[in-house]
Amino acid sequence: MAAPQIVELRDDNSTVLYPNTEWNSYNSSDPKSIPLTTFVNVDAKLVGVNLTTNAVDKLYYLDDTQAIDRGLDDVRFSASGEIAYLSDIAGALIVLNLTTGHNVRVLTNSTTAEALFPIMYNGTLVPGSVGPGSVSTAGLDQIEVSPDGTYLYYQPCNGGMHRIKTSYVDSVLTNATMAATLGAYAEPFALTPSTGGTTIDADGNIYASDTNMLAIWKITPSGHCSILFHSDKLLWTDLMWITADKKLWLPAFQMRPGGDGLMATGPNYIFTYSINAGPSPIDHVELVGNPRLVVCT
């Protein structure tokens, strides 16, 4: 396995390994490589990087909570910055107390978190990895938190977005009954498409990439959906971001169906698109009192 390459993109368009070379040095063929303190390609821990010092200062190991055969994907935070929500594409949500490290896996028995239809790409079903004729699926993947912290939005990769009040979600850390029945409190929110990634602006509008139509959807706080724009360049857009100058950043990873699921062919592009709002005050990387970049690895 080649060493991961997590990089910082600088103003001059150059890149540098982030937060340092050591964290990007893991190699499975080297017995001296330590997966507990390096980035690896299996999502099994949460790494917090202090953006002031560029040093790792938080580590949460989640091997005992996530599904064995699938991985963690997105991470978002509560309004207080005390709780993290992580999607598990096996069809579950992990709720993590960032102070104590205590975490609970929920929605495992809820159809709202399951992949009920294969992933679509540019008019076709994405091939699966379990033999000829199989198709690719992914459970609970994209998640967002409303700017006021009231709602957690979530959907499987094939679309169909629900929402739950964060007060219910947060209570699963101390209430086993709520943890077992959380799906009963989910509300249907929007009929979204197969999606590579989402982000949310300060007004509560969610932006979702449509991997089938190669488009970006806008979903208002009332659940109204519209196609914001379409481009053949938007090949598997994910990890979208909104900046203070009201621009939507769109990394397009050039993922295409191959003989065994999706394959990235490159080159990778990052596009921008002007919108009418800035980022949500519940930023994806800034926690109260101590800003961090948080990476699942």
Can you tell me the mean pLDDT for 130-155?
92
Instruction: Report the percentage of the chain scoring pLDDT > 70.
Output: 89
**Total-model pTM:** 0.91
Rg of the chain's alpha carbons, rounded to an integer? 18
- If one counts the domains in the chain, the total is 1
Give the pLDDT confidence score for residue 282 in this predicted structure: 87
Give the pLDDT confidence score for residue 286 in this predicted structure: 44
pLDDT digits (tens, 9 = 90+) for 23-61: 999 988 888 888 888 988 667 888 999 988 999 989 998
Average pLDDT value for the chain: 88
Do the domain assignments include residue 27? no
Phi/psi of residue 173, nearest 5 degrees: -70, -20
Q: What domain range is 260 assigned to? A: 42-296
Angstrom distance (rounded) from CA 161 to CA 174? 26
Q: How confident is the model at residue 2 (pLDDT cuts 50, 70, 90)?
A: low
Give the pLDDT confidence score for residue 261 in this predicted structure: 66
Planar angle of CA 10, 86, 44, nearest 5 degrees: 80
Q: How confident is the model at residue 295 (pLDDT cuts 50, 70, 90)?
A: low
Q: Tell me, what DSSP letter sits at residue 183?
A: G
Cβ atoms of 284 and 292 within 8 Å: the answer is: no
Angstrom distance (rounded) from CA 112 to CA 164? 11
Give the pLDDT confidence score for residue 133 in this predicted structure: 82
Q: H-helix or E-strand containing 164?
A: strand 161-165
Q: Tell me, what DSSP letter sits at residue 147?
A: T
Do the domain assignments include residue 13? no
Angstrom distance (rounded) from CA 73 to CA 238? 11
pLDDT digits (tens, 9 = 90+) for 201-247: 999 999 999 999 999 999 999 999 999 999 999 988 998 999 999 99
Distances (CA, A) of 59 to 19, 39, 182: 14, 11, 27
Q: Tell me, what DSSP letter sits at residue 237?
A: B
Give the pLDDT confidence score for residue 210 in this predicted structure: 96
Do the domain assignments include residue 4? no
Do the domain assignments include residue 9? no
Do the domain assignments include residue 258? yes
Do the domain assignments include residue 205? yes
CATH number at residue 159: 2.120.10.30
Confidence check: pLDDT of 257 > 80 = no
Instruction: Report the percentage of the chain scoring pLDDT > 90.
Output: 58
pLDDT digits (tens, 9 = 90+) for 174-197: 999 999 999 999 999 999 999 999
Give the pLDDT confidence score for residue 212 in this predicted structure: 93
Angstrom distance (rounded) from CA 66 to CA 105? 7
Residues 6+ apart with CB under 8 A from 25: 3, 33, 38
Confidence check: pLDDT of 292 > 70 = no
Q: Tell me, what DSSP letter sits at residue 22?
A: G
